[in-house]
Amino acid sequence: MAIIIKTKDEIELMRESGKILAEILKNLSAFVKIGMSTHEINVYAEKLMHNYNVQPSFKGFHGYPAALCTSVNEQVVHSIPSEKKILKDGDILTIDCGVLYKGFHSDSAVTLFIGNVQEDVKEFVYIVKKALYETISKIKEGEYLNIIGDTIQKIIEEQHGFSVVKELTGHGIGRQLHEDPYIVNYKEKSPGPVLKAGMTIAIEPIVAMGSGKIRTLKDKWTIITQDGLPACQWEHTVVVTKTGAEILTK
């Protein structure tokens, strides 16, 4: 495992990358509405990226065809934006986005309510968001990597009875979109490597309301829950410091 410690100058570039991504996601969140296709959201995202002079991290990554992943309801991750996928009242939409700025990537995801969402689904989304932020609050130099997975699993499964999607992980990030280490969202037997100041990682609890069992559709990208129940993802890129973690995409 080759974990790359970033320099002060590299972290500053990642901070700028993250700030731009946060602004793009803020704009996208305000743009989304009932009756819109996920393709329209992707078109707007590419326009914003052009305006901010950044490149889409996802487009072309292992052949992925779009700038965003737009996962609706039972879609878990990697859902390709489509003119046929129209947002309806009561949907939840996860927008996962990454940008490349001056050689450095940032990666973040938010889950949005489309119109009047059922209260139990709202609560589910809030809990996944809570798991992300509580996990980030525990990160600092000297802790072991698996504090991330341990914290997420306790909140999601033990406290609330939802399911971590164990096949999907967070990851290191920097000059490459995916770097070491890969970060599971559950407790492993090994505590993993020790966190060090200057590590930059994307933390992303990916959670299902139901069993957590998944399958991939014929497009070879879109992953859905087998039981058809909703899934949710929240994500931030952070840098480890001696005293905590700084969110770069806040």
**Which residue, among 110, 141, 142, 115, has the nearest Cα to 126 in the 3D structure?**
110
> Which two structure tokens, joined as six digits, stand for 127?
């809990």
- Over the stretch 228-246, which tens digit does the pLDDT of each residue have? 999 999 999 999 999 999 9
Q: Is the pLDDT of residue 1 over 90?
A: no
Per-residue confidence (pLDDT) for residue 200, from 0 to 100: 98
- Over the stretch 119-177, which tens digit does the pLDDT of each residue have? 999 999 999 999 999 999 999 999 999 999 999 999 999 999 999 999 999 999 999 99
pTM of the model: 0.96
The number of beta carbons lying within 10 Å of the beta carbon of residue 212 is 23
What angle, rounded to 10 degrees, do the helices at 8-31 and 38-51 form?
Answer: 140
Task: Count how many Cα atoms sit within 13 Å of the Cα of residue 182 in the half-sphere of its side chain.
Answer: 6
Q: Is the pLDDT of residue 41 over 80?
A: yes
Q: Per-domain residue ranges for the chain?
A: 8-247
* Residue 65: pLDDT band with limits 50, 70, 90: very high
- Over the stretch 6-38, which tens digit does the pLDDT of each residue have? 999 999 999 999 999 999 999 999 999 999 999
> Which two structure tokens, joined as six digits, stand for 208?
């299902």
Question: What does the alpha-carbon distance between residue 42 and residue 160 come to, in Å, rounded to a whole number?
Answer: 33
Torsion of CA 167, 168, 170, 176, to 10 degrees: 110
Q: What are the C-alpha distances in Å from 164 to residues 3, 160, 185, 190, 215?
A: 25, 11, 7, 18, 15
What DSSP string runs through 119-176? HHHHHHHHHHHHHHHHHHHT--TTSBTTHHHHHHHIIIIIIT--EE-TT--EEE-SSS
Q: Is the pLDDT of residue 48 over 90?
A: yes
Question: What does the alpha-carbon distance between residue 131 and residue 145 come to, in Å, rounded to a whole number?
Answer: 16
Q: What is the mean pLDDT of the chain?
A: 98
CB-based burial label for 63 (10 Å; 0-12, 13-18, 19+): exposed
**CATH architecture for residues 8-247:** Alpha-Beta Complex (3.90)
Q: What are the C-alpha distances in Å from 198 to residues 170, 183, 189?
A: 17, 16, 25
Average pLDDT over residues 39-67: 98
**Which residue, among 141, 111, 103, has the nearest Cα to 205 in the 3D structure?**
111
